[in-house]
Chains A and B, each alone.
Chain A
Amino acid sequence: MTETDPELLGKAYDSRLMRRLWGVTRPHRRLVLFSMLLFPAVAALELLQPWLTKIAIDRYILTGDWPGLSRIAAAYLACLLVLYGLRVAISYLTQVAGQQVMHDLRAALFAHLQRQGAAFFDRSPVGRLMTRVLSDVEAINELFASGAMAVVGDVLTLGGIVVLMLVLNWELAMVTFALVPVLAAGAAYFRLKARESYRGVRTRLARLNGFLQESLQGMAVIQLVARERREAELFAGLNGDLRRAQFRSTFFDSMLYAGVEGMGSAVVALLLWYGGGQVLTGALTFGGLVAFLEYTGRFFLPIRDLGAKYTVMQAATVSAERVFGLLDAEPGIISPAGGAVAGLPGAAAVEFRNVWFAYEGEDWVLRDCSFMVAGGERVALVGPTGEGKSTIVRLMTRAYDVSRGQVLVGGRDVREWDLGALRRQVGVVPQEVFLFTGTVEDNLRVGAGAAAQNEEIERALRTSRADRVVASLPNGLRQEIRERGHNLSQGQRQLLAIARALLYNPSVLALDEATSSVDPESEALIRAGLEELLRGRTSVVIAHRLSTIQTADRIFVLHRGQVRESGRHAELLAQGGLYSRLYELQFGGIGP
């Protein structure tokens, strides 16, 4: 699984994105605004300290006024305490704002993902979606924790220092600023490089994590084909790539950092040399020189931090872009406003009218496919593998939309149905059994919720023959199921999936090879049990074992994307068409 979306690392500041982020903060606006108000106060107090030192030197220390010195010291103390209070408040408020926004974004992303159609998940690897919901959202938080908001403070501080320096002594101030263009040019260059290399790190990290995730899920396969060494080599390749990219990124980051710091010291030298001269001529006081020296230190610190924050902001911007990109992905399949919540009266019929469908482009799986399952009818769908049987079931619940034609359930186009109501109407046991971690009971109640009575559970278990499975588990219904149900046999998982569907109690039931890994005896018993249950319901059963199929009211034979034959078992055999050939193949070799 490779990250295919362009990992473009754009500007650190993008007004459109920022406006959107600002929108996200709406519920916590007061927090954000309030903490933003505190930044100027902090900046001012920070600038006040060297000024106090200057006054202390010039007015009191050099004049020998010790009560004055004590007063200044008291002012200094007050300044420190207020500063502490403000910092606590800022730190807490920004974190609260950031965490709240992250919480909201995660919730929004998760809810949005729940609305996406199946086609979306075909295109989006789980690993990547997880990166969006978890890491990208976390990166956005940096805007709050150390990025955008603190930048406000930094910029204010810088501005204040510039003003103070100019006020103190404009000539000396100009000396200090002399090196700024050099600094700016250097910083711009390294920042550009740092940005590129940062993009490299992100891409490689995504690739590595995708690989790792798949390895974790397919480890048994890797071990079974004794491929550990080769996979480890592939992993080592990705790992090494990542390390090199990181080092490149560090290189540029460090250059930027050390450059700014070195520059700061160089300015001290300039100041001493030039400012010292001024002190000698009396154009500058000692305190002024000292304050200048201190301000220079504080001048370069925010510049240096701005560099680091710039990187952080870039990362956050990229993440915000992706998060919003995902939130903007229109769910291809949405419930129409005021969609139908019930079909026409009577048992729901299912009809395909001239349906064309392709998963991708023009690779048609269904071509002009038409058939009708009457209300209450039991239909079996047969056909070679890969012909589109499962696809038909997926279209019935509108997991995908058809390209052309119509699918009708209960006499209404599925696109007119309220999605939830449609899916409550049509229950599916998908071919791929998926159980959630949690107890057996949790899994059974997945569809029915807490409302299901214990007797109903019992009945569903009995009908699906899953009662024996539950009985064989040490903790019965309370048994913990592991990831994907891997602590059950495949057949047992299928039986539980059937029980789950029965408990869901839909009026149209589609079983997609639901008993493919179940033994013939259980299968026969399930069939008998279903007999009762399916009375008055519409059902579509897909199976390869003809024994499962024969009792259907009608059999549909799917071939080349169309239902080519339909009828009862005997009729179809008599026709001597596709079905009879299929049947011949399965039972031909067996003499009674």
Chain B
Amino acid sequence: MSPARRVLGYLRPYTARYGAGVGCLALATGFSLGIPWQVKEAIDGLRGGGGALAFHAGVIAVLAALHAVARLASRFTMLGAGQWVEHDVRHDLYAHLETLSPAFYLTHRTGDLMSRAANDVQALRALAGFGAVMLASTTFTFAGTLAAMWAIDPRLTLWALAPSPLLVLLARRFNHQVAVESTAVQEQLGALSARVQENLTGMPVVRAYTMEAREIDAFGRLNGDYLARSLRLARTQAAFSPMMGLISGLGGLIVLWVGGMGVLDGRLTLGAFVAFTAYLAHLAWPTIALGWTLGNLKRGLAAMTRIAEILDTPGHVDEPTEERQEAHTVATGWGSTGAIPETVAADGESTGAINQDRGPRHGAPNPQPPLLNGPIEFRRLSFGYDGRGRALDDVSFTVPEGATVVVVGPTGSGKSTLGALLSRLYEPPPGTVFIGGRDVRELPRERLRRSMGYVPQEAFLFSRSISDNVALGDETAPEARLRASAETAGLGSEIERFPEGWATVVGERGLTLSGGQRQRVALARSLVPEPAILVLDDVFSAVDAGKEAEILRSLRAAVAGRTTLVMTHRLRVAQEADRIVVLDEGRVVEQGTHAALLASGGLYARLWRIQQIEQELADD
């Protein structure tokens, strides 16, 4: 779809407003054109020695008042509509960003996306609001003024218009050049923004490696380039914008000369001459602003193109039909765990401090389809990230319902990839990943993810309060459940010790917490919705042995009956599992129980021995 069509699509819902606004503008133009006409009548009357001066003055006053009202109305409607358009574009953009996968965020830098969402959306508003006003107003003013001038003296009108073809030619050139150059500026701004963003987020590394001077240099280069591009644009604008003033001035000159002679010859009255000059002055401002208006149009369309690049990236959209069928066909399909929400609701009558500072609670949630449970199965799964070799190669194994399976393997062997595919952060090939016997690709994402407590390897917290972070997956969860989850995750008393307890707002990405604290908040978060399936990716890596043992103990009680998949490097965790899967370079090299794997003497046994030997060494 062309950007122009797209912009029109956003304008369509406000057709009525724009219509009203344009109507008001037409009226406003009419009223304001009436004023010089009255001046003309008055002056001609004066020349005739008298005339109804007071009458003309009165009409002008009335016209002025009407003009002001009409103009106000047009601005309210059209600028208001422009703001609605901005609102809608931003809304769609956010909604679409929510459907985009990690693969998208991998190739689009946050700084650049921010630049689009902020600057480009703003440019679009300038187009849909003020730009539309200017466009309509310019059109009307030109049309109305020309008509009035024509009525006074067609010949003089043609004379006055003589420089116009030049104007059109120049405007075209200018327009094109400005579009090219301002796109270059916007792009560089995006790059600059991405650079600053990265520098600021990576500041601990910058500091640790004394990179400051080099960072300043690198920024300086981008900054210098931005300056150069801006100056190029400035030069174009400086040369062309005053040209519009010059051309409208030339029109004035011609009128003065040719029109003046007309008055000399008696072909034109003095009043008509004055009115003509006044009309021409009317044209001056739209002519001068024409460059801006056209440039604004170009900028707006360029912005739409950049926004459309995001909007056109195919996102995940779940077919709602399937969801509905689900609710009917699958009965209470999630077995024993189905009782949990009710039991918690029973002891969750307290609306304590935690719930209160979590903002407005939303009314009864939509009837949710039942959560999933059942075995997790990987069936001959092969998968590679874009431009990379296979991260997983013919992987097959099953996590039986209610069982705990641990995946171990060297760094980069594909453990986290399993979690990413299971949760459909990345789309697995069809017929390879199953939950409860159904291909995950056929399950609506929302239902799939609600059913699954997945703790990714990297704990990300929002800079909100701890309670908001823990309750992220289920805002309606009663306080008691939040506390219970925190307890299970081994956070128990620690949160109380934070400066403001549960209400403590953590830093960006949770960076004011220690690594282990962050991991445990993320773990607690996944437990709150009480999912039947748990996927824990290396969640103990920053937790000390004591805490780990404590968490494992409480988790074991909490996960009883849940289907659990754990990725870890700590073989002590593996030892307790129902089954262990050993990955190496994307392949399953072994699977079985701890004892069986030790006996078979493969990779697992070797890893185990490494840990054992160290312990024995230490024990000596």
Contacts and interface: CB of A to CB of B under 8 A. Distances in A.
A567 interface: no
A10 B60 CA distance: 39
A223 B235 CA distance: 47
**Residue among A100, A212, A397 with max Cβ neighbours from chain B (10 Å):** A212
B545 A546 contact: yes
Contact of B542 (A209, A385, A547): A385
A452 B111 CA distance: 30
B607 A519 contact: yes
Given A66-B264, A220-B102, A254 B79 contact: yes
Contacts of B509: 217-218
B86 A243 contact: yes
A107 B220 contact: yes
Given A76-B256, A276-B53, A550-B618, A134 B192 contact: yes
Interface stretch (A17-25, A286-294, A532-540): A286-294
A246 interface: yes
A5 interface: no
Contacts of B84: 243
B544 to A, nearest CB: 5
A434 B264 contact: no
Interface stretch (A265-273, A371-379, A407-415): A265-273
A126 interface: yes
B246 interface: yes
**Residue among B102, B508, B606 with max Cβ neighbours from chain A (10 Å):** B508
B544 A209 contact: no
Interface string A438-478: 00000000110100000000000000000011001110000
A73 B200 contact: no
Main secondary structure of the interface of B (DSSP, over half): helix
Contacts of A219: 97-98, 100, 102, 105
B547 to A, nearest CB: 6
Given A214-B463, A268-B60, A592 B97 contact: no
Contact of A297 (B281, B389, B415, B449): B281
A122 interface: yes
A64 to B, nearest CB: 5
B501 to A, nearest CB: 12
Interface string B79-101: 11001101100110011011110
A88 B242 contact: yes
Interface in A155-172: none
Given A77-B253, A221-B460, A250-B79, A524 B541 contact: no
B273 interface: yes
B260 A56 contact: yes
Interface stretch (A313-321, A336-344, A347-355, A581-589): A581-589
Interface string A1-27: 100000000000000000000000000
A468 B198 CA distance: 27
B197 A130 contact: yes
B402 interface: no
Nearest to A388: B514
B596 to A, nearest CB: 17
B549 A232 contact: no
A378 to B, nearest CB: 15
B370 to A, nearest CB: 14
B49 interface: yes
A325 interface: no
B472 A544 contact: no
B57 to A, nearest CB: 4
A223 B425 CA distance: 8
Interface string A102-128: 110011001101110010011001110
B531 to A, nearest CB: 10
Interface stretch (B144-152, B375-383, B478-486, B564-572): B564-572
B239 A1 contact: no
A293 B278 contact: yes
Contact of B75 (A257, A473, A492, A545): A257
Interface string B506-525: 01110111111100100001
Interface in A253-279: 254-255, 257-259, 261-262, 264-266, 268-270, 272-273, 276-277, 279
Given A73-B260, A232-B94, A272-B39, 8 more contacts: A61-B264, A126-B200, A250-B76, A250-B80, A273-B56, A423-B207, A483-B198, A586-B549
27 contacts: A69-B260, A80-B246, A83-B246, A95-B237, A110-B223, A130-B193, A215-B98, A220-B460, A226-B446, A239-B87, A239-B94, A264-B64, A266-B61, A273-B53, A277-B53, A280-B46, A286-B47, A382-B544, A385-B520, A432-B511, A472-B389, A492-B412, A521-B607, A524-B614, A544-B548, A586-B549, A587-B572
The 5 closest A-B pairs by CB, nearest first: A385-B516, A491-B411, A265-B64, A586-B545, A262-B68
